[in-house]
């Protein structure tokens, strides 16, 4: 079954926020730009784990980087967050429409 772009976006949103640490990183980056060392300090996670989650968020287009001296800072892309919010709203609307609809066995 082929998925529509809306379905792709909704699935991406669920995958991105399905991991508690990744969701926490997103919440932290919503308040200010941070480098890896800040995220390690705030979450208590190890550097390879933080880097893994940041890579996933960058590849999804949700986070962008800015080099500042020896450090790389990460920030959320507001337009990408808005797109995910739209996808989640569509997912919620679909769930509302599915109430009382059962697939026969």
Note the pLDDT tens digit of each residue in 73-94. Answer: 999 999 988 888 888 888 888 8
| Alpha-carbon span 13 to 24, nearest angstrom | 14
Q: At 64, which helix (H) or strand (E)? A: strand 63-68
| Alpha-carbon span 44 to 13, nearest angstrom | 24
Q: Is residue 102 assigned to a domain?
A: no
Q: Is residue 31 assigned to a domain?
A: yes
Q: Is residue 105 assigned to a domain?
A: no
pLDDT (tens digit per residue) in 42-76 = 999 999 999 999 999 998 889 999 999 999 999 99
State which residues form the domain around 16: 5-94
- 17 is written with which tokens? 């926020």
pLDDT-derived band at 18 (thresholds 50, 70, 90) equals: confident
């Amino acid at each position: 079954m082929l998925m529509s772009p809306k379905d792709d976006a909704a699935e991406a949103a669920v995958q991105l926020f399905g991991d508690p640490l990744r969701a926490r990183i997103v919440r932290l980056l919503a308040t200010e730009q941070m480098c890896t060392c800040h995220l390690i300090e705030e979450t208590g996670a190890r550097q390879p784990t933080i880097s893994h989650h940041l890579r996933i968020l960058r590849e999804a287009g949700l986070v962008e980087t800015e080099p500042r001296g020896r450090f790389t800072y990460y920030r959320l892309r507001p337009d990408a967050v808005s797109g995910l919010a739209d996808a989640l709203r569509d997912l919620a609307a679909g769930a509302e429409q599915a109430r009382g609809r059962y697939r026969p066995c």
